[in-house]
A and B are shown apart, each in its own frame.
Chain A
Amino acid sequence: MDTAAKWEVQLRKGCLELAILAVLWEGKLYGLEILRRLESDSDLIMSEGTVYPLLSRLKALGLVRSEWVESDAGHPRKYYTITAVGKQRAREMTGVWKRFASSMSLLLAPVAKGNK
């Protein structure tokens, strides 16, 4: 894997925690729904195996909680809900993200235009 690809993977991984909190913002979802939302709304997912351990970590940190719910599919599903602490963390991270994205956009403007 070349340096640019590695950098892209690290960048995506760094955003994944905030992206998961964001998709849970409006209601509870189970693992596969979270993955589908992330796949349809972003291209953050490199490996599905990354999301489940991260959900487990967010739960251990108290940012999300989980519950098993019986489903029509014939097996129970583990649903995740964002907690008050998780919402606070998501707000803080969103603030940092906006400032960061705005300053990077300014810096990158000449590069994007292709000026010398």
Chain B
Amino acid sequence: MTIPGDAQKRIDAYLARLRQMLRGMNREDARDILEELSSHITEKAAATGGQVTASGVDDALARLGSPEDLASQYLTDALLARAEVSRSPLRIIESLFRWASLSFAGFIVLLGSIAGYFIGGALILSAALKPFHPQTAGLWIFPEGAVNTTISLRLGFGNPPADGRELLGWFIVPAGLVLGCGLVTLTTRSALWCIQLYRKSRILPRG
């Protein structure tokens, strides 16, 4: 099939933009997507008159939507599919980085999820290390003057703090494990809920 130069330029420009937006995705998957869409655009553009024309290409591209919208659908759909198969926090964070590169909403969800996983992980680690560092691991409170106090979750490395007081004692083991696992689960579910909400908002045509 012969494609005139100006029609080919339009296709190349669209696919180059899409390739750029999909750069966080697995390289093989991205190439597969671009080849499939290239095949679709060429065939769709030739469907009416048998010849690929610039206006036929423009029409085919308009029906596909902007490269940005298409890329965000691919990325959020891929993330949802992966999340349905594996709910690993590392996989979620990896995918949220891709989403964050596309939208401010993704950036906010990424920050919240990192905070959730960090605190949840610290609680679990603190509980797990308590038997090895019984004097220093746990939840500590440090009074700073009459008004301010600092609460710190310590893993127990280093010397016992001189001016602090441990709050929970051995109770940090069950509390840390339950709260930590709960927070990790809650963070995963919240991240997935936000992604689903974003995906639903993106499939609605603007207007």
Contacts and interface: CB of A to CB of B under 8 A. Distances in A.
Given A49-B64, A60-B81, A6 B36 contact: no
Contacts, number: 86
Interface residues of B, number: 33
A50 B82 CA distance: 18
B205 A1 contact: yes
Contact of A49 (B38, B65, B207): B65
Interface stretch (A69-77, A97-105, A107-115): A69-77
A30 B32 CA distance: 14
A93 interface: no
Interface in B160-207: 200, 203-207
A61 B39 CA distance: 24
Interface residues of A, number: 27
Contacts of A9: 203-205
Contacts of A46: 205
Nearest to B207: A1
A47 interface: yes
Contact of B39 (A10, A13, A47, A75): A75
Interface of B: 1, 29, 32-33, 35-40, 42-44, 63-65, 69-70, 73-74, 77-78, 80-82, 84-85, 200, 203-207
